[in-house]
Chain A
């Protein structure tokens, strides 16, 4: 060990002061691997010590200032104005940087995803209440009788419109009791039934270059009740997962308007915000489509 060499060197040059350190080293009998070793002691010229301290303090000070500036730069404008910073420091660079970090996290989520992994299923006794978490106002149920689902970006090149009866008669119904996890942190276990997204993809295959689905709910409303279409991106790999349903039933009953009647997406391996309620259109596209919450600063892939 290097320090021992130092100590020995020192014992040669200076017997009096080094006896302590030398003793502490020699007191070290054969040690177990986990046994604590004495701290390496060395004799330093005061000049060198001063120089090194000065260097380390300068480095530390510079680093601290840089880190504080960097940290302050990354803080949300809302936080800064609360602590009295009036000037707007939001910049494209900051957005770019933080969104880049989000993309990395999305890439990690995508790497973790496995098509063969199933989300856990529960028993009916484990069902928990699920609140209506419409971000805006809940739509008026008036849209339900005339509801249709429009499919675009199909291999056939056609635009298909399906009504509720079409869906229920053409596809077999699957049930699952799974957990829905909200980005806010809460979760709920519910009993869902509906057709598999995969079955719809097989019945109406998307165009060959399609990698994404864009799901839209044109009946979505904002908080003051104005039209605010909800659109969401879903990778086709997740759409083909056998536990990805286009749900028609909730806890044994047809979906209520609160839960997205007549058809909602149930994709338990994504955050709740991907589980679009009252879907009115699905479009298959090659490039990643826009996403309602990604445009509001949330992540894009949202795999959990």
Chain B
């Protein structure tokens, strides 16, 4: 790994240009981590959209047929409810398909969705390898490891986030908990969980894809049907992660967002490196 590739002229440039005051930056994200991070946005989107289209063919969450419509799919019920209650949707052409029309590639295209899902799944696995290589190459993996103080630290962060809007409204000071690590305890929990969820998604995916040849894997996950349920609910881990992740990145500021593109941050002092980003 050529570290100097990312920021080569560090000391040298200051010595050749002694007049110009240097900017102190910290190297935050390895370039492989950054690339895989952004690639993952598209890959996960593709996996979720095609995954919901696949879900349509045989929903996991079903109930006894509705006496009027014969519908058994909970997702279709939600679509019907949405169309009945959201203004402007009362004349929607097929309410049971509302979820699938808006949150998937569409209903009734199982073959196309499977093909895309597997394509994205192979990319997802490759991208995971790139991400891990970046973590190892840049030493970033150490910042993600859970530690003993994390339960308390996470509670403090949680208290901070919950209280933040109220403190703002009351114009009260609401200091950010101080950490001398790259991430705070909540971030660490999130950034550690998401790769683990990725690994589990891959494992449950293979268990569903090859339940006979990878029988041991399906058995480990509680059988074929249980693997399907796991696989579906793991999708929600990403969705539940992404929402606060994006909100907090923007709340935290330009430096944090930029660091995932350029790799460095100007928040050098340990107390400043502590970011609000989750």
- Residues of A at under 8 Å CB distance from B? 2-3, 5-6, 9-10, 13-14, 17-18, 20-21, 24, 34-49, 52-53, 56-57, 60, 63-64, 67-68, 71, 74-76, 78-79, 82, 98-99, 101-102, 104-105, 109, 112-114, 117, 119-120, 179, 181-187, 268-269, 293, 296-299, 303-304
Known: A3-B27, A18-B24, A41-B268. Contact between A183 and B224, CB under 8 A?
no
Mask: chain B, 118-155; 1 = CB below 8 Å from A; 0 = not = 11001000000000000000010011010000000000
- Residues of B at under 8 Å CB distance from A? 3-4, 7, 9-15, 17-18, 20-28, 35, 38-39, 42, 45-46, 49, 54-55, 57-58, 60, 101, 105-106, 108-116, 118-119, 122, 139, 142-143, 145, 181-182, 208-215, 224-225, 228, 258, 261-265, 268-270, 273
A24 touches B270 (CB 8 A): yes
A75 touches B7 (CB 8 A): no
A42 touches B213 (CB 8 A): no
B24 touches A2 (CB 8 A): no
Measured CB to CB, the closest approach of chain A to B71, in angstroms, equals 16
A67 touches B39 (CB 8 A): yes
A75 touches B105 (CB 8 A): yes
Measured CB to CB, the closest approach of chain A to B75, in angstroms, equals 13
A5 to B8, alpha carbons, bound, how many Å?
12
Known: A45-B20, A67-B39. Contact between A293 and B58, CB under 8 A?
no
B26 touches A14 (CB 8 A): no
A299 to B268, alpha carbons, bound, how many Å?
52
B23 touches A46 (CB 8 A): yes
CB-contact partner of A114 in B11, B25, B213, under 8 A: B213
Known: A41-B268, A56-B263. Contact between A303 and B213, CB under 8 A?
yes
A297 to B224, alpha carbons, bound, how many Å?
24
Can you list 9 A-B pairs with a CB-CB distance of less than 8 A? A10-B10, A36-B182, A42-B11, A43-B14, A76-B105, A78-B109, A79-B109, A112-B213, A185-B208
Inside 8 A of B265's CB, which chain A residues have their CB? 39
A183 touches B110 (CB 8 A): yes
Measured CB to CB, the closest approach of chain A to B40, in angstroms, equals 11
A37 to B22, alpha carbons, bound, how many Å?
23
B262 touches A296 (CB 8 A): no
Inside 8 A of B28's CB, which chain A residues have their CB? 39
CB-contact partner of B143 in A14, A36, A109, A296, under 8 A: A36
B122 touches A268 (CB 8 A): no
A208 to B184, alpha carbons, bound, how many Å?
67
Majority SS of interface residues in chain B? helix
A44 touches B210 (CB 8 A): no
Measured CB to CB, the closest approach of chain A to B7, in angstroms, equals 6
Considering the complex, give the chain B residue whose CB is closest to the CB of A50: B23
A186 to B55, alpha carbons, bound, how many Å?
10
CB-contact partner of B115 in A20, A64, A101, A179, under 8 A: A101
A21 touches B118 (CB 8 A): no
B116 touches A42 (CB 8 A): no
Inside 8 A of A52's CB, which chain B residues have their CB? 7, 262
A185 touches B143 (CB 8 A): no
A112 to B213, alpha carbons, bound, how many Å?
6
CB-contact partner of A82 in B101, B113, B213, B269, under 8 A: B101
B42 touches A269 (CB 8 A): no
A109 to B122, alpha carbons, bound, how many Å?
13
A297 touches B213 (CB 8 A): no
A20 to B264, alpha carbons, bound, how many Å?
17
Inside 8 A of A68's CB, which chain B residues have their CB? 42
Considering the complex, give the chain A residue whose CB is closest to the CB of B55: A185
B39 touches A74 (CB 8 A): no
Inside 8 A of B24's CB, which chain A residues have their CB? 17-18, 20-21, 41-44
Inside 8 A of B7's CB, which chain A residues have their CB? 42, 44, 52
A20 touches B111 (CB 8 A): no
Measured CB to CB, the closest approach of chain B to A122, in angstroms, equals 11
Inside 8 A of B210's CB, which chain A residues have their CB? 109, 112, 303-304
